[in-house]
Structure 1
Amino acid sequence: MRDWMDLNGDGEIDSSEMMFAEEMLCTSREEHEALFGDAGDFEDDTKDDLEIDAMAAGLDIGELELMDSDDRAEALEEAGLDPDDYDLD
């Protein structure tokens, strides 16, 4: 069975393949920052998460973006979402 980290199929895992494997296994922004010194793909997740969560809660993302931060926080709380989970300012 081929090792999943052997991305190019040459039978050896080189440093580039190891780095990509470690990055694929990161499950949080904090973990990625600790390993690589930056947020990686986790940088843009906040807005995507808000869009998904807002739609699931029946909120209009366009209206949320136009609200001031206090009104937005209140709307999120009323929908059962924690405003601290979303960095929009």
Structure 2
Amino acid sequence: MFGFDKMFDFNRDGKLDSLERAIQFQFMDDMLKEDHSSSDFDEDEADVFGDAGLDYDELEFMDPDERREVLEDAGLDPDEFDF
């Protein structure tokens, strides 16, 4: 039994029966779906910011006026990006 399997061995018999295995697979499937769907991060925008020497996360937490100024200073049009 693997370490992660122990979390789904509800009856503690040392092996996963079909129900326990199904719950484990459903859990893993939900985790993967959540990981992909929760991100609205655009990789192409990250490349543009990285090429301009900017960090996406820092831009995201700036106030709108400061972000506009930083983007303009980097030669980017602030109206092209949604934060």
Query: Which bin holds the TM-score, normalised by the shorter protein?
Result: 0.3 to 0.5
TM-score, structure 1 normalization:
0.44
Per the normalisation by structure 2, the TM-score is 0.46
Greater Rg over alpha carbons, structure: 2
